[in-house]
Amino acid sequence: MAFMKVLISDKTDPICARTLRAFSGIEVEERAGMSPEQLLQEIAHYDALVVRSATKVTAQVMEAGKKLKAIGRAGAGVDNIDVQAATDRGIVVMNTPGGNANAVAELAIGMMFALARKLVATVEGMKAGRWEKKGYQGGELSGKILGLVGIGQVGARVARKAVALDMRVLAYDPFVSPEKAMEMGVEICELDRLYGESDYISLHLPKNEQTARMIDKEAFVAMKPGVFLINCARGGIVVEADLLQALEEGNVAGVGIDVYEIEPPEDWSLANHPSVIATPHIGAATAEAQIVVAEMIGRQIGQYLIEGKVVHAVDRP
């Protein structure tokens, strides 16, 4: 019997390999940390490739992967995969939408709490031996307006958590009906109104031609003075130089940011700003989320190779 060979080239929870091996006729190799050169040399032996965010699946990789039938991303974003090249070669690309949505949503909410109560600065002061109780009066989330740009898998979870915190939630999402939003306790509105009324703005949308660099100088000018901005979505949606300027001018009071146009950043000015909470793209980095997405993508790749079933395809070869 000829086995289908699957390469897992990034570190994933062991449940991914176990799920794949449960399919009769699949052989799995786990080789996290391969260099791009090693991947190019070895990919020709495999029928499918499973990645997280470290492996860059370029058109060159696909050209070398003569047997490749499927690429699985253990996560939602596929920025590291040349989806068009896969489509052109008839390779199915699948991801795991929703698998890490709660983890990202909790980070966004956590950043809002941290900004509201100035937690990073107060903790740093205590660790330095400073008792600065009077210097760090914060605010409360209750009663504030949260503007969500995008209410998909992650945004919807942020909305529900924010409503439970007694926040009023506005949302901009052209793909969600007012009726569906109402079920979440959210009011749909246009971007101009969201910008002008929101005390906090959290971004939850994919990066594509329409959304790339959409949060720019013009957007910051339209925002309510003293707004707090959260971006746990995708790097490149925010023009970082314009955000830094808005912080310096005081139009934006604080930022929680987990994603960057270039990762790791080449310019650390934004991360180093005293009004910024910066984390190194850890939105999905919970033990629970990694188990979920690893099991999901293992099952999806196995179903496709053995049964021909396609689940959560992001291309149409």
pLDDT along the chain (317 residues), means of 10: 89 97 96 95 97 95 97 92 96 94 97 97 94 91 98 95 98 92 93 98 92 96 98 96 97 97 95 97 94 97 96 82
Q: Are 167 and 143 in contact (CB under 8 A)?
A: yes
Question: pTM of the predicted model, to two decimals?
Answer: 0.88
In a domain, 10, yes or no: yes
Q: Which amino acid is at 14?
A: P
Residues 153 and 239 in one domain: yes
Residues 69 and 145 in one domain: no
**Range(s) of the domain holding residue 131:** 101-278
pLDDT at 276: 98
Q: Which residues have a catalytic role annotated?
A: 234, 263, 281
Nearest Cα residue to 187 out of 174, 173, 201, 169:
169
In a domain, 316, yes or no: no
Q: What Rg value do the Cα atoms of the chain yield, rounded?
A: 21
In a domain, 314, yes or no: no
pLDDT at 133: 87
Nearest Cα residue to 227 out of 250, 190, 248, 253:
253
pLDDT at 135: 82
pLDDT at 290: 95
pLDDT at 178: 87
State how many domains the chain has. Answer: 2
pLDDT at 316: 63
- CATH number for the domain that contains residue 228: 3.40.50.720
Residues 95 and 121 in one domain: no
Q: Which residues contact 191 (CB under 8 A, 6 or more apart)?
A: 149, 172, 219, 222
